[in-house]
């Protein structure tokens, strides 16, 4: 009978090969648990293991307020595709309203196009909240004009 280590490696190799055909990009396969058991019907040992496939993507951050509630986010992956295209301020307002992170009634006070490295472009808007929250009363929002999506919502901490 093959050793536990051999069985584990065989499973990881098979998974890497199979996943490589289905998923683009570099992958890392991690074995998280394993178990050998006797199957009384088939009269043989069975080796089971759980595998996790990791693929590199952009980082995602969740911004919390002092009470531990969701206050914003930064989706770094969306900077990569942010290059061309136009975004009207009204379109930006609609995108922000659709994600539901900023309370209704926020008023846009600034909206500008900015270049980002390397060769990227985003739109940045500042929104003042209708009702101030404990830590902040405005947020900076970045938009991806190419895919028409919100990249980040960053609360602006109130000066103490």
Question: Could you list the residues that contact another protein (CB under 8 A)?
Answer: 25-28, 30, 52, 54-56, 59-66, 68, 117, 155, 157
Rounded to a whole number of angstroms, the minimum distance from the CB of residue 146 to another protein is 20
Contact 38, 47 (CB under 8 A): no
71 contact partners, CB below 8 Å, separation of at least 6: 63, 64, 65, 101, 133, 135, 136, 153, 155
For the record, the structure tokens of 51 come out as 């595998």
User: For residues 20 and 93, which CB has a smaller minimum distance to another protein in the complex?
Assistant: 20
User: For residues 65 and 149, which CB has a smaller minimum distance to another protein in the complex?
Assistant: 65
- Helix or strand or coil: residue 121? strand
Rounded to a whole number of angstroms, the minimum distance from the CB of residue 133 to another protein is 13
User: For residues 104 and 159, which CB has a smaller minimum distance to another protein in the complex?
Assistant: 159
User: For residues 4 and 55, which CB has a smaller minimum distance to another protein in the complex?
Assistant: 55
Rounded to a whole number of angstroms, the minimum distance from the CB of residue 72 to another protein is 9
* Residue given tokens 């040992």 in the structure block: 45
Per DSSP, the residues of 30-68 read EEEEEEEEEETTTTEEEEEEEEEEEE----EEEEE-TTS
Rounded to a whole number of angstroms, the minimum distance from the CB of residue 15 to another protein is 14
């Amino acid at each position: 009978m093959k050793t536990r280590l051999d069985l584990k490696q065989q499973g990881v190799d098979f998974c890497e090969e199979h996943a490589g055909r289905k998923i683009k990009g570099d992958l890392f396969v991690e074995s998280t648990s394993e178990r050998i058991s006797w199957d009384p019907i088939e009269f043989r040992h069975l080796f089971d293991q759980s595998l996790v496939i990791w693929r590199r993507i952009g980082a995602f951050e969740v911004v919390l307020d002092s009470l531990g509630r969701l206050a914003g986010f930064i989706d770094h992956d969306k900077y990569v595709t942010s290059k061309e295209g136009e975004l009207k301020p009204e379109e930006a307002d609609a995108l922000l309203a659709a994600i539901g992170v900023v309370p209704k009634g926020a008023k846009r006070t600034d909206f500008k196009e900015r270049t980002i490295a390397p060769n990227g472009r985003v739109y940045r808007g500042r929104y003042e909240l209708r009702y101030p929250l404990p830590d902040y009363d405005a947020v900076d929002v970045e938009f991806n004009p190419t895919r028409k999506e919100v990249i980040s919502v960053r609360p602006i901490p109130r000066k103490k």
